[in-house]
Amino acid sequence: MSDLFTSPTGDWTAVSPRLATARRLIGVSCGGVLLLVGIVVTVLLWWWLGVPIAIVGIVIAAWVWWWAPRNRRSWGYTEGPEDFVVRGGIMFRRLVAVPYGRMQFVDVEAGPVARQFGFATVTLHTASTKTAAGIPGVPIDEANRLRNRLTELGDSGGAGV
């Protein structure tokens, strides 16, 4: 990634590679289902409806296959001395820095697929809704460690609203 989004501490903690695997799996299954539907429609009903559906399915699967590992690599976070910094996104890049004292609470969320793959989304909340600092694909243990650590830092440095 370009110089613009370099880490203030020098390096980024990457998120789990399984995030990409999980996304590829979901993308390929969705694409596969569409492809199957397309084939069935082509064979049994009308080819002019079935072929486009099948093509959409293939395109979705291919795109997710290409996108998932790149997006996974774009995510990173780092614990600076006084603030927590998150970056992410390939097309629309974003870097958010949250001072520890401003953190109101930290959410750890994991859907069924994420649980299966052993990762979770960690979201940092401040009094501003625009902060929206969410990190997908953090391994469960790391996510819990991060939550405890951030909550602790937030309590000790709490500047309130």
Restricting to residues 73-92, name those near another protein by CB under 8 A. Answer: 82-83, 91-92
Whichever of 94 and 115 has its CB closer to another protein, that residue is: 94
In the complex, minimum distance from the CB of residue 45 to another protein, in angstroms, rounded to a whole number = 39
Q: Which of 7, 13, 21, 104 touches another protein by CB under 8 A?
A: 104
Q: Which of 98, 120, 135, 143 touches another protein by CB under 8 A?
A: 98
Residue 11 touches another protein, criterion: CB under 8 A: no
Residue 101 touches another protein, criterion: CB under 8 A: yes
Query: 114 and 22 in contact (C-beta within 8 Å)?
Result: yes
Angstrom distance (rounded) from CA 77 to CA 19 = 15
Angstrom distance (rounded) from CA 35 to CA 33 = 5
Q: How far is CA 31 from CA 28, 36, 56, 60, in A?
A: 5, 9, 7, 6
Angstrom distance (rounded) from CA 48 to CA 53 = 9
List contacts with another protein (CB under 8 A): 2-5, 8, 82-83, 91-102, 104, 126-131, 133, 157, 159-161
